[in-house]
């Protein structure tokens, strides 16, 4: 087995200028990129901090007590986030996902949710507002989040075995507290709760069936995610990826499944429903999903933009640089200027890393300073 090398680099230093084009790009709700993909989904990182140290995301070797997190003055204020989001909605965004780091570490996050909930899409409807969390603070915050306007929550949980979970989060956090958070979210009406499990071969693949058994029939949607080559600090190796088709095979050996149609355009998960004795989907039993982020590219209908905590716009999860929208915001740009700059950036988008990955030479990714998932969210 080759030695794992974790490069110590800081991708936050590189940025592309966001410029107002000479020809205005008016928001019509129909913005499309160079591959005809519309802008529908905005993921907003509200903090670069997290209280877990999962080795596939924020390993302790890099994110130690001396790691230079962004100073608070660099972070977008709630008012700045809301102003930018309103511009994104005018260009066609309908879904907002708050991420981190761990978004529940951002003080008064409920106030931001309330501001976002007051916005409207081009159709005059409230945007769908969701949040991804590690669940550590969810039990105490779930009701306030729902009352502020949050509609759904996704919880990252990589196993039910307490020893495995403590080892993976690397801060000795108990799995029972995350399960309490999931229960609190359901009780608060954050429905449906989704649970994401990153599957890493040799680490937690034996937790696949226990997780499925636990959440089957509870109304919670469980999704298995292939371990991804995001960023530069997680020491990713292909031999630690368990392909989604193997995950489904393990599930179907015990639990009958039938394929389901996508629930929305651009959905990343392939859906499978638990089947009854007649081999038909039983909604009472629920469903699972697999996100084949490595073995099956889903770039073709990707409609997601990502906004970092200090206002950089990333067009792909695997990007190495983002566009600096904060400078426009704080430099006196009008809403029309912001809309034109954003529109021109999206119109020029051609990112499709996952589709190209298989054709790239093995050494092509060496030294490439891709942005960390902990910085722009998953």
Write out the H or E segment, with its range, that includes residue 16: strand 15-17
Q: Which domains does the chain have, with CATH numbers?
A: 11-376 (3.20.20.70)
Residue from 246, 147, 156, 140 nearest 197 by CA: 156
Query: Is the CB of residue 232 less than 8 Å from the CB of residue 7?
Result: yes
Q: What gap in Å lies between CA 80 and CA 1, rounded to an integer?
A: 47
Sequence-distant contacts of 205-208: CB under 8 A, at least 24 apart:
205/242, 207/158, 207/159, 207/160, 207/161, 207/164, 208/247, 208/250, 208/251
Dist. CA 354–CA 1, nearest whole Å: 25
- For residue 146, what are its two tokens? 């729902």
List the structure tokens of 81. Answer: 């986030």
Compute the distance between CA of residue 90 and CA of residue 75 in angstroms, rounded to an integer. Answer: 23
Residue with tokens 């160079």: 34
The SS3 of residue 279 is: coil
Give the predicted TM-score (pTM) of the model: 0.89
Three-class SS string for 130-194? EEEECCCCHHHHHHHHHHHCCCEEEEECCCCCHHHHHHHHCCCCCHHHHHHHHHHHHHHCCCCCE
Full pLDDT tens readout for the chain, 378 residues: 344 434 444 555 578 999 999 999 999 999 999 999 999 999 999 999 999 998 888 889 889 999 999 999 999 999 999 999 999 999 999 999 999 999 999 999 999 999 999 999 999 999 999 999 999 999 999 999 999 999 999 999 999 999 999 998 999 999 999 999 999 999 999 999 999 999 999 889 999 999 999 999 999 999 999 887 665 555 567 878 899 999 999 999 999 999 999 887 767 889 999 999 999 999 999 999 999 877 776 677 889 999 999 999 999 887 888 999 999 999 999 999 999 999 999 999 998 766 566 555 544 444 455 566 666 765
d(Cα 308, Cα 326) in Å, to the nearest integer?
A: 10
Q: Please, what's the largest Cα pairwise distance for the chain?
A: 63
The span from the CA of 99 to the CA of 104, in Å, is: 9
Secondary structure in 3-state letters for 316-337 = CCCCCCEEEHHHHHHCCCCHHH
Q: What are all long-range contacts of 24-28, with beta carbons under 8 Å and residues at least 24 apart?
A: 24/336, 24/340, 25/339, 25/340, 25/342, 25/343, 25/344, 25/347, 26/336, 26/339, 26/340, 26/343, 27/87, 27/90, 27/91, 27/92, 27/122, 27/339, 27/343, 28/91, 28/92, 28/122
Give dist(CA 351, CA 300) in Å, integer.
10
Distance CA 252, CA 369 (A): 39
């Amino acid at each position: 087995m080759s030695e794992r090398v974790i490069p110590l680099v800081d991708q936050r230093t590189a940025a592309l200028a966001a410029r107002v084009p000479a020809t205005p790009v008016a928001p019509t709700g129909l913005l499309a990129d160079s591959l005809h993909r519309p802008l529908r989904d905005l993921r907003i990182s509200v903090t670069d901090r997290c209280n877990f140290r999962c080795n596939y995301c924020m390993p302790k070797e890099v994110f130690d007590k001396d790691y230079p997190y962004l100073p608070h003055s660099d972070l977008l204020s709630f008012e700045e986030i809301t102003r930018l989001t309103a511009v994104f909605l005018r260009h066609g965004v309908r879904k907002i996902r708050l991420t981190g780091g761990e978004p529940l570490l951002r003080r008064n996050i409920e106030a931001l949710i309330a501001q976002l909930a007051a916005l409207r899409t081009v159709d005059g409807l409230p945007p769908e507002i969701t949040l991804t969390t590690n669940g550590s603070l969810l039990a105490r915050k779930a009701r306030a989040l729902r009352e502020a306007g949050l509609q759904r929550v996704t919880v990252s949980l990589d196993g039910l075995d307490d020893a495995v979970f403590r080892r993976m989060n690397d801060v000795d956090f108990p799995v029972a507290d995350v399960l309490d958070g999931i229960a609190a979210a359901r009780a608060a009406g954050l429905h449906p709760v989704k649970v994401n499990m990153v599957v890493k071969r040799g680490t937690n693949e034996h937790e696949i069936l226990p997780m499925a058994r636990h959440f089957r029939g509870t109304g919670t949607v469980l999704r298995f995610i292939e371990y991804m080559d995001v960023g530069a600090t997680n020491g990713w190796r292909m031999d630690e990826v368990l392909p989604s088709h193997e995950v489904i095979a393990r599930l179907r050996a015990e639990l009958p499944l039938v394929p389901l149609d996508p629930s929305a355009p651009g959905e990343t998960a392939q859906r499978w429903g638990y089947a009854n004795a007649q081999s038909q989907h039983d909604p009472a039993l629920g469903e699972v999903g697999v996100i084949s982020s490595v073995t099956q590219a889903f770039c073709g209908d990707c409609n997601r933009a990502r906004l970092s905590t200090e206002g950089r716009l990333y067009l792909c999860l695997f990007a190495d640089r983002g566009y600096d929208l904060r400078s426009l915001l704080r430099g006196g740009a009008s809403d029309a200027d912001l809309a034109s700059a954003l529109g021109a950036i999206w119109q020029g988008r051609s990112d499709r890393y996952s589709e190209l990955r298989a054709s790239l030479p093995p050494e092509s990714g060496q030294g490439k300073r891709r942005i960390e998932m902990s910085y722009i969210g998953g």
